[in-house]
Homo-oligomer: A and B are copies of this chain.
Amino acid sequence: MRATAQRSGGGRPTVLDVATMARVSTGTVSNVLNRPALVALQTRERVERAILAPGFVPNRAARTLVTGLTATVGFVVEDLENSFFLDIARGAQTYGEAVGTRLLLANSDNTAVTQRGYLRLLGTEHVSGMLVAPVRGTLDDLRQFRAPGRCVVVVNHDAGGDFCNVTTDNERGGYLAARHLLERGRRRLAFAGGEGIAPVVHDRLRGVVRAVREANGASTLEILPSADVEVEDGRRLGVAIAARPPEARPDGIVGAADLLAMGLVQALETEGVGVPAEIAITGYDDNRAAWNSRVPLTTVDQMGEVVGEHAVRLLLSEIDEGVGHIHRHVVIEPALIPAGQHRALASGAPRPSG
- What is A's interface to B at a CB cutoff of 8 Å? 1-10, 12, 57, 59-62, 64-65, 67-73, 78-86, 89-90, 93, 96-97, 99-102, 104-107, 109-111, 117, 121, 124-126, 128-129, 133, 135-136, 147-151, 156, 193, 197-198, 200-201, 228-231, 256-257, 259, 262-263, 266, 270, 285, 287-294, 302, 316, 319-320, 322, 345-354
Given A59-B65, A109-B347, are A353 and B5 also a contact pair (CB < 8 Å)? no
Contact among B60, B72, B351, B354 for A287, CB-based, below 8 A:
B354
Distance between Cα atoms of A191 and B133 in the complex (Å): 42
Contact among B61, B89, B97, B316 for A64, CB-based, below 8 A:
B61
Which of A3, A101, A259 has the most chain B CB atoms closer than 10 A to its own CB?
A3
Distance between Cα atoms of A200 and B262 in the complex (Å): 31
- Indicate if the CB atoms of B320 and A294 lie closer than 8 Å: no
Q: What is the distance, in angstroms, from A229's C-beta to the closest C-beta of chain B? A: 4
One complex includes copies of this chain to the number of 2
Distance between Cα atoms of A354 and B84 in the complex (Å): 5
Distance between Cα atoms of A256 and B319 in the complex (Å): 49
Chain B residues whose CB sits within 8 angstroms of the CB of A352 once the complex forms:
193, 197-198, 200-201, 228-229, 256-257
- Indicate if the CB atoms of A101 and B270 lie closer than 8 Å: no
Supply 11 A–B pairs (Cβ within 8 Å), ascending by A: A3-B99, A3-B316, A6-B70, A8-B70, A60-B61, A61-B65, A90-B109, A110-B351, A135-B348, A287-B354, A290-B292
